């Protein structure tokens, strides 16, 4: 049974392939189109890759599962327009257009992908797809499930109990009282792009004091039960879907003009960011606590765009309401492509035998012959490496910034050692160097540490493992002085734990770096520059390398360096330079 999962939405379009219940491939359309977030794009490139990875043709596809149901909540949009007449009339038109838009994929997919007429179409409600993406790949037989995002068809927060292959709804909060839109509106007010800059607000918050917290408690209220309510005077998204701004003029009356200096906003904006983040954490604790009380289960699964807030995630784990927590690695809309396929397999077809997620290396892979052909075609000088991990460790120990390109592309927003930029975390100037000369991004943005899982507790406070870089945790006492480039200003780090089983080559690099420096930790950030998706192909990697301040590039078993780069101690190679 071949099930193709599709998310075709306003952003983060993606495709996945499930074969007899096993996740074979998943990739975001942006990685292949090179257009960040691939807004409104049907994931045709992603779907074709998934078919190729599964060794099948369109004729072999049995089901296409979509992560949106055009009929769910349709009447709610019109009722909302009536309640907020006349300002929300656009919402009714937009909702109608959105439903027509989501009715188009089956016909378009048959045309674009040349699917046979017998291929079955299944529409999975958006939050149900998110819930499935978190529960079915989790290691839990039973779990509470929390979905929090900007908006599905109409729900903005949903709660479920997962048992076996069933997902039982426990409650929901509906638009417009959205935690996702709450955070996005303040993201825009603080000078960043909504639906893109939320992680910047999260990083900026650590530099401030939550001096606006009491006001935020009035804006985001938490009544009893699994509920949250917004004071809608501060927002505009529920009137025009962001045609003007997500926040309202009233917000500027209360807090002053919106920030126009996103590179490093004034302290008042920084303090507001801290307050916004803290109140979001309150809301998530509130929901998690209700789920625990309602279900009395030991395990929690989370998905939806808000589940990418790694600061809140780390605190949920440390709070200990649940013994174990599984965060879907691709928690935003791209992950719902996986969830739709899994829901079709387990809930619609009734198939059992769930397979826990082992890794997210599910995207395209390029073999040595292809990479060398690209290097020769581009007339780029390179060296063939006897031991790529050892060479990279040598370069990092010398203080060089290295692009690292290996194996299959990661699915989700985090680079996990296959499409990464790496550096020495012991160097205090490294964060500034990478932000300024490589990533071209705001100076307050932190970087993550990668560490062997069994060595993690010596440097970072335990969070039960963090293989997908979705948990922030305090560093251990004294570690900030050892690892200044990956310790955020508040003494925390967004942890990435690595096992030999999940990524042998990257694990070896960490071991080799430890042998050279006595520290088994490297700075790891995504292989891209500001405004671009993470690189996918060798061509993408070379373009990023030559258009940034990277010192060296390890492409599979090949080393590329820029002319004029100081070689330091020549790394071991197996052959002389080629052209």
Residues designated as active site = 11
Quick one: which of 343, 365, 400 has its CA closest to 568? 400
The dihedral through the CA atoms of 273, 277, 280, 286 has a sign that is negative
Quick one: which of 319, 316, 341 has its CA closest to 330? 341
Report whether 529 contacts 547 (CB < 8 A): yes
Report whether 259 contacts 266 (CB < 8 A): yes
SS3 449: strand
Report whether 370 contacts 537 (CB < 8 A): no
SS3 99: helix
Q: What share of the chain is helix, strand, coil (3-state, %, to 5)?
A: 40, 20, 40
**Residues contacting 293, CB < 8 A, separation 6+:** none
CA pair distance 25, 411, nearest whole angstrom: 9
Please work out, in degrees rounded to the nearest 5, the angle formed at the alpha carbon of residue 332 by the alpha carbons of 331 and 333.
Answer: 125
Query: Which strands make up the sheet holding 166-174, listed edge to edge?
Result: 166-174, 155-163, 142-148, 299-303, 324-327
Quick one: which of 485, 468, 473 has its CA closest to 422? 485
Dig out the tokens for 396 from the structure: 């990092």
The dihedral through the CA atoms of 313, 318, 320, 321 has a sign that is negative
**Number of neighbouring beta carbons within 10 Å of residue 460:** 26
CA pair distance 495, 476, nearest whole angstrom: 12
CB pairs under 8 A, 24+ apart, for 560-566?
560/375, 560/380, 560/381, 560/382, 561/381, 565/400
Quick one: which of 410, 339, 396, 398 has its CA closest to 521? 396
């Amino acid at each position: 049974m071949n099930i193709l999962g599709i998310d075709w939405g306003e952003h983060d379009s993606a495709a996945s392939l499930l074969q007899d219940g096993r996740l074979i491939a998943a990739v975001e359309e942006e990685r292949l189109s090179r257009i960040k977030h691939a807004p409104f794009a049907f994931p045709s490139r992603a779907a074709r890759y998934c078919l190729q990875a599964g060794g099948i043709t369109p004729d072999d596809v049995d089901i296409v599962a979509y992560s949106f149901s055009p009929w769910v909540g349709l009447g709610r949009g019109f009722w909302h327009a009536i309640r907020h007449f006349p300002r929300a009339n656009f919402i009714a038109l937009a909702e109608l257009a959105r439903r027509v838009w989501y009715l188009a994929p089956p016909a378009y997919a048959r045309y674009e992908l040349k699917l046979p007429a017998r291929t079955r179409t299944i529409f999975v409600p958006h939050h149900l797809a998110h819930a499935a993406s978190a529960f079915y790949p989790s290691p839990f037989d039973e779990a509470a499930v929390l979905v929090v995002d900007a908006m599905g068809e109409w729900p903005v927060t949903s709660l479920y109990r997962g048992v076996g292959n069933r997902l039982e709804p426990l409650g929901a909060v509906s638009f417009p009282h959205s935690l996702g839109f709450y955070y996005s509106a303040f993201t825009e007010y603080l000078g960043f792009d909504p639906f893109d800059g939320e992680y910047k607000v999260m990083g900026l918050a650590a530099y401030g004091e939550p001096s606006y917290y009491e006001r935020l408690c009035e804006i985001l209220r938490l009544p009893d039960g699994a509920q949250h309510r917004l004071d809608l005077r501060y927002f505009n998204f529920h009137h025009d879907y962001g045609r003007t701004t997500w926040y309202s003029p009233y917000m500027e009356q209360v807090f002053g003009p919106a920030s126009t200096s996103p590179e490093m906003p004034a302290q008042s904006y920084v303090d507001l960011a801290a307050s916004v983040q803290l109140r979001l954490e309150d809301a998530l604790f509130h929901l998690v606590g209700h789920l625990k009380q309602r279900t009395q289960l030991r395990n929690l699964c989370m998905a939806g765009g808000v589940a990418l807030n790694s600061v809140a995630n780390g605190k949920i784990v440390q709070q200990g309401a649940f013994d174990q927590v599984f965060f879907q690695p691709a928690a935003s809309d791209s992950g719902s492509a996986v969830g739709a396929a899994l829901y079709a397999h387990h809930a619609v077809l009734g198939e059992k035998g769930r397979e826990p997620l082992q890794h997210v290396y599910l995207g395209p892979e390029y073999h040595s012959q292809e990479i060398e052909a690209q290097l020769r075609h581009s007339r780029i000088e390179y060296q063939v490496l006897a031991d790529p991990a050892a060479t990279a460790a040598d370069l990092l120990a010398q203080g060089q910034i290295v692009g690292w390109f290996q194996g299959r592309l990661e699915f989700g927003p985090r680079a996990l050692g296959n499409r990464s930029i790496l550096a020495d975390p012991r160097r205090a100037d490294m964060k500034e160097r990478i932000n300024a000369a490589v990533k071209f991004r705001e100076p307050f943005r932190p970087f993550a540490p990668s560490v062997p899982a069994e060595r993690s507790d010596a440097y970072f406070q335990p969070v039960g493992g963090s293989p997908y870089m979705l948990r922030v945790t305090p560093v251990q006492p004294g570690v900030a002085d050892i690892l200044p480039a990956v310790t955020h200003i508040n003494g925390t780090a967004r942890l990435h734990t690595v096992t030999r089983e999940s990524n042998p080559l990257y694990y070896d690099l960490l071991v080799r770096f430890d042998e050279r420096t006595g520290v088994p930790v490297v700075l790891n950030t995504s292989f891209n520059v500001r405004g671009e998706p993470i690189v996918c192909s060798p061509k993408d990697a070379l373009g990023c390398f030559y258009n940034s301040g990277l010192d060296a590039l390890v492409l599979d078993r090949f080393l590329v360096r820029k002319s004029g780069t100081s070689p330091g101690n020549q790394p071991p190679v197996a052959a002389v330079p080629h052209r």
